[in-house]
């Protein structure tokens, strides 16, 4: 299966490369517990401190465009290993990226924020929660979002979706850890798409944190976050203290689910690639607007993905 996520979440494993495959071997018995074709791996996620790997793993995966993500116990990314060269016209694209003016970046950030809030409103509708406030807020976003409507929407949205006592805290267990995991696999997918399109992951449209080297990735991941939120809401195990295997499986399946778009139905992974490529085309003056999923995509995702049967 192409675009596989491989996660190492328990200790005692040695990862190495042999004849085009990634092998995960138990250190105690030296037998391969898993064997995955390198060309089929979308991303490698390391969420344990107690594994080791050969240098070839750290070379072979980035050579194929697959990021390696190291996470803490709450599934917050600690570091990313990304390829240096991802696209045949990378230098030209990065030159255009660094030249991009503030008016363009503000306009594109408005597109992203409006899309995100509209999807948040759709999540609330699907979950029988009050959505009118978000529908109104989405119409008030100005270029660059100077009033920070995005934050206003998030404050309302999370309490309406998960209850008035809920607080989005990356260090908390239960629902917050489930959200962390979903956002992390999304972020890895966006990172791969950004580099694959020839973009540099740091120069952003909006995010500004000086310690964040993935600021553009965090810009482009925003419209897809509500899909994670819906999966978490519709999975009873999400509130458990420990992250459950079913929750993880649903997040990976989510990325392979097909969404409706202007070009018909295609996987979320491909939608993310199309978004990154559309940004390149804008920077190269080949188009005007970002290629974002259509507003109806989340409704069809909920009814057609098969995740909630």
Q: What is the pLDDT of residue 302?
A: 83
Alpha helices (H) in 127-260, listed in sequence order = 132-138, 149-162, 175-196, 215-221, 225-233, 245-256
Q: Are residues 190 and 51 in the same domain?
A: no
Q: What is the mean pLDDT of residues 247-266?
A: 86
Percent of the chain with pLDDT over 70: 96
Please check the confidence at residue 255 and state whether its pLDDT lies above 70. yes
Contact between 259 and 300 (Cβ < 8 Å): yes
In a domain, 76, yes or no: no
Question: Whose CA is closest to 205, among 214, 215, 195, 197?
Answer: 215
**What is the end-to-end Cα distance of the chain in Å, rounded?**
23
Q: What is the pLDDT of residue 241?
A: 77
- Could you list the residue range(s) of the whole structural domain that residue 54 is in? 4-66
Q: What is the mean pLDDT of residues 261-281?
A: 89
| Residue of higher predicted confidence among 87 and 214 | 214
- In order, the DSSP letters of 1-18 are --SEEEEE-SSSEEEEEE
Confidence of residue 105 (pLDDT cuts 50, 70, 90): very high
Backbone φ and ψ of 7, nearest 5°: -120, 135
Q: What is the mean pLDDT of residues 93-105?
A: 95
Contact between 144 and 110 (Cβ < 8 Å): yes
Backbone φ and ψ of 26, nearest 5°: -75, 125
In a domain, 77, yes or no: no
Question: What whole-number distance in Å separates Cα of residue 224 and Cα of residue 42?
Answer: 18
Q: Domains in the chain: how many in total? A: 2
Give the single-character DSSP code of 70: E
Q: What is the mean pLDDT of residues 108-121?
A: 97
Q: Are residues 134 and 263 in the same domain?
A: yes
Confidence of residue 1 (pLDDT cuts 50, 70, 90): low
In a domain, 37, yes or no: yes
Confidence of residue 31 (pLDDT cuts 50, 70, 90): low
Q: What is the mean pLDDT of residues 94-106?
A: 95
Q: What is the pLDDT of residue 88?
A: 73
Percent of the chain with pLDDT over 90: 65
Q: Please, what's the largest Cα pairwise distance for the chain?
A: 61
Question: What whole-number distance in Å separates Cα of residue 88 and Cα of residue 161?
Answer: 43
Q: Are residues 195 and 292 in the same domain?
A: yes
Q: What is the pLDDT of residue 74?
A: 82
* Nearest 10 degrees: Cα torsion 125, 127, 129, 133: -40
Q: What is the mean pLDDT of residues 126-133?
A: 95
Cβ density class 105-118: b for 16+ within 10 Å, e for less: bbbbbbbbbbbbbb
Please check the confidence at residue 150 and state whether its pLDDT lies above 90. yes
Q: Are residues 238 and 159 in the same domain?
A: yes
pTM of the model: 0.91
Please check the confidence at residue 86 and state whether its pLDDT lies above 80. no
Neighbours of 14 (CB within 10 A): 16
The CA-atom distances, in angstroms, between 125 and each of 54, 66, 175, 255 are 48, 36, 20, 22
* Nearest 10 degrees: Cα torsion 222, 224, 229, 230: 150
Please check the confidence at residue 156 and state whether its pLDDT lies above 80. yes
CATH number of the domain where residue 41 is located? 3.100.10.20
Beta bridge partners of 53: 15
Neighbours of 145 (CB within 10 A): 20
Per the prediction, the chain carries an average pLDDT of 90
Instruction: Give the tens place of pLDDT for each residue, 189-235.
Output: 999 999 999 999 999 999 998 888 899 999 999 999 999 999 999 99
Q: What is the pLDDT of residue 211?
A: 80
Q: What is the mean pLDDT of residues 252-278?
A: 89
Confidence of residue 77 (pLDDT cuts 50, 70, 90): confident
Q: Are residues 40 and 172 in the same domain?
A: no
Please check the confidence at residue 30 and state whether its pLDDT lies above 70. no
Confidence of residue 308 (pLDDT cuts 50, 70, 90): confident
Q: Are residues 271 and 145 in the same domain?
A: yes
Token readout for 42 is 């979308």
Contact between 27 and 13 (Cβ < 8 Å): yes
């Amino acid at each position: 299966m192409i675009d596989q996520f491989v996660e190492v979440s328990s200790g005692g494993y040695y990862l190495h490369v042999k004849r085009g495959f990634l092998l995960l071997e138990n250190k105690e018995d030296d037998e391969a517990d898993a064997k995955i074709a390198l060309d089929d791996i979308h991303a490698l996620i390391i969420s344990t401190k107690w594994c080791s790997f050969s240098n070839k793993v750290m070379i072979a995966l980035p050579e194929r465009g697959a990021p390696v993500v190291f996470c803490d116990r709450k599934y917050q990314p600690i570091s990313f290993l990304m390829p240096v060269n991802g696209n045949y016209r990378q230098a030209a694209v990065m030159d255009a990226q660094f030249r991009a003016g503030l008016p363009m970046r503000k306009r594109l950030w408005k597109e992203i924020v409006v899309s995100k809030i509209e999807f948040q409103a759709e999540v609330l509708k699907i979950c029988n929660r009050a959505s009118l406030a978000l529908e109104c807020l989405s119409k008030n976003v100005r270029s660059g979002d100077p009033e920070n409507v995005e934050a206003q929407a998030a404050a309302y949205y999370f309490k309406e979706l998960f209850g008035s006592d809920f607080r989005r805290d990356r260090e908390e267990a239960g629902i917050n850890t489930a959200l962390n995991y979903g956002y992390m696999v999304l972020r890895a997918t966006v990172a791969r798409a950004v580099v694959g399109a020839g973009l540099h992951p740091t120069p952003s449209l909006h995010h500004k944190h000086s310690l964040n080297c993935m600021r553009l990735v965090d810009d482009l991941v925003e419209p897809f976050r509500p899909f994670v939120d819906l999966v978490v809401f519709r999975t009873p195990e999400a509130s458990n203290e420990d992250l459950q295997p079913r929750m993880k499986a649903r997040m990976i399946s989510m990325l392979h689910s097909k969404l409706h778009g202007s070009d018909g139905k295609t996987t979320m992974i491909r939608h993310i690639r199309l978004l990154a490529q559309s940004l390149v085309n804008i920077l190269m003056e080949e188009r005007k607007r970002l290629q974002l999923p259509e507003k109806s995509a989340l409704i069809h995702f909920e009814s057609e993905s098969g995740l909630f049967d």
